[in-house]
Amino acid sequence: MKVAIVGGGAVGVTAAYDLARRDEEVVVYEKDDIAGGSTGRAAGVLYDAFAAPEDARVGDRAIERFREFSGEGDFEFRETPYVWFAHEGDERRAEAIREQVPRMQDAGRNVALADPEDLRERFPAVDWSDVGVAAVAENAGHTDPASYAALLARKAEDAGAEIRTDTEVRLDADALAVERVGRAGEDEEATGDSDESESFDAILVAAGAHTKRLLAVAGIPVPLKPYRVQALTAGFDAGRREDLPMCYDATAGYYLRPHPEGLLAGDGTEEVESDPDDWTREADREFCEMTCERLGRRLGEFGAVREAWAGLCVATPDRDPLLGELREGLHVAAGWQGHGFMRAPALGEAAAEAVLGENPLPEFDPTRFDGDEEFDIAEGMSVE
């Protein structure tokens, strides 16, 4: 089978690897560089703490594969527990955490409720004095997302896949084919604004925030909305970093994790749809100021901000992804709600299996929607 994958992020290159190692002919088209989009701007927080059975299976498989790949090339999975909590007085989110944990345990996840005294003893780098209810997931860690994508792209090529970066394409509306789009400023004769076309037996669109527009050209509407999120890195004492877990403050709505140069923290979800071609890549000053204030309250002293940036996540009406066949031979893998990179090893594998005619995740069937649904963007990590 000859398969085109449009999108060179973590899910796309994982699917390419899994198809190529099963002896399929694979071509990956990426308009920029590998991990040049949302993958390269992801936080790298990894955990399997999901309550829904299908999400728990995906999370478990993703962490399993992250561990399998760790140590190859520059990719490293760094084991780190994940703590999520609600403040005292926030009964709505506290009750949600109390309800989540037994369901996660029923799904086989290694999670447990923890009181502030347990957290102080185990993670002394963090101030837990305002915590009312907390839970800890043990099967968790963090990594550099770009290193994972680079590794899987290399493994895909070693297995026989062809990866074409700096190559923007559009879908043929009437056939299983892609057409290269000439870039402004390129030599028209060399790139062919005549739109060089190539046919395939199957096409997988895994183009993140650009997925909706790509599929629209093929006459297929999908309910996807890109939205902007923000993150920063800052200095943090190396000795204290050993006592720093990954955290999600459900009441305040921000997360933090250890980082090789200190710590990484994020928030800043904009609950409005973003234009995937026209959005602000730099973090807002207000976000940086608010995040530094939160970190100061939670961690005490920390170093200066080193980098601050924004990225795009993609929402769906029910906060579950679209993964599977849209029409004969045309597949989609998108709408991760901020959980795409952390589940990429499993989602890419499932997308490859779907292309091969299997149906590993029927719960994420993209045809469950008409494509013109109206819905509001909701933060992916929220605890409600």
| 3-state helix, strand and coil shares in percent for the chain, rounded to the nearest 5 | 30, 25, 40
Give one DSSP letter per residue of 14-37, joined into a string: HHHHHHHTTT-EEEEE-SSSTTTT
**What is the number of residues in the chain?**
384
Mean pLDDT of the chain: 94
pLDDT score of 188: 43
How large is the average pLDDT for residues 218-225? 96
Q: What is the DSSP letter of 156?
A: H
Is 82 in contact with 91 (CB distance < 8 Å)? no
| Type of residue found at 42 | A
Distance CA(335)–CA(248), nearest Å, equals 21
CB-based contacts of 139, cutoff 8 Å, min separation 6: 47, 48, 49, 60, 63, 109, 110
How large is the average pLDDT for residues 315-336? 97
In angstroms, the first-to-last Cα distance of the chain is 44
DSSP E strand stretches across the chain: 2-6, 25-29, 45-47, 78-79, 82-87, 111-114, 131-137, 140-142, 162-164, 169-171, 177-180, 197-199, 202-205, 225-234, 246-249, 254-259, 262-267, 305-315, 322-327, 330-334
Provide the CA 215 distance to its chain's centre, in angstroms. Answer: 20
| For the chain, domain boundaries | 2-44+145-222+318-368, 81-140+225-315
Whether 47 has a pLDDT exceeding 60, the answer reads: yes
Whether 189 has a pLDDT exceeding 60, the answer reads: no
Distance CA(279)–CA(266), nearest Å, equals 18
The CATH architecture of the domain made up of 81-140+225-315 is 2-Layer Sandwich (3.30)
How large is the average pLDDT for residues 124-141? 98
| Percentage of the chain modeled with pLDDT above 70 | 96
The pTM assigned to this predicted structure is: 0.95
pLDDT score of 194: 47
The CATH architecture of the domain made up of 2-44+145-222+318-368 is 3-Layer(bba) Sandwich (3.50)
Distance CA(342)–CA(23), nearest Å, equals 26
